Amino acid sequence: MAFKILVTSQKGGVGKSTLSANLVAYLSRSLNLPVTLIDWDPHGSSSNWLKQAPPVGAVIQHLALPVDQGGNRPIFEARLQMRRAASECDILVCDLTWSDSLAGELMFEFDMVLVPTSVSEIELAATSGFLSRHRWVFDSAAARRPMLVVCPTRVLNEQLNSDVFTKQRFPVSFMLAPPILEAQSARDLFERGYLMDARDIGGESFREFGEAICAAREIRMAQSQQPRTSPVKLTAKDTSSHRVPLTPSKASVLESIPNSSQYSVLGRYRQRKVAGEAEETSSARSLAQMGIPEFLKRLARGNSAKL
Residue ranges in contact with ligand ADP by CB under 6 A: 12-18, 45, 153-154, 180, 182-183, 186-187, 190, 202
Binding partner of residue 159 among Mg ion, ligand ADP, none, CB under 5 to 8 Å per kind?
Answer: none
The candidate with the shortest Cα–Cα distance to 126, out of 113, 117, 135, is 117
Nearest Cα residue to 295 out of 253, 251, 260, 263: 253
- C-beta of 156 vs 244, nearer to ligand ADP: 156
Work out how close the CB of 41 gets to Mg ion at its nearest, in angstroms, rounded to a whole number: 4
Which is nearer to ligand ADP, 13 or 55 (by Cβ)?
A: 13
The verdict on 41 binding Mg ion (CB under 5 A) reads: yes
Residue 17 interacts with Mg ion (CB under 5 A): yes or no: yes
**Least Å from the CB of residue 205 to ligand ADP:** 8
Sign of the Cα torsion 8, 12, 14, 17 reads positive
What residues contact 112, with CB distance under 8 A and at least 6 apart? 3, 4, 5, 6, 146, 147, 148, 149, 213, 216, 217, 220
- Count the Cβ atoms, other than its own, within 10 Å of residue 225: 13
For residues 267 to 296, the per-residue mask of contacts with Mg ion, x marking binding by CB under 5 A and - elsewhere, is ------------------------------
- Give every CB contact of residue 33 below 8 A, 6+ residues apart in sequence: 27, 89, 90, 91
- Least distance from ligand ADP to the Cβ atom of residue 12, Å: 4
Closer by beta carbon to ligand ADP, 212 or else 254: 212
- Chain residue whose CB lies nearest Mg ion: 17
CB 269 within 8 A of CB 155: no
Please report, as ranges, the residues that interact with Mg ion according to CB under 5 A.
16-17, 41, 45
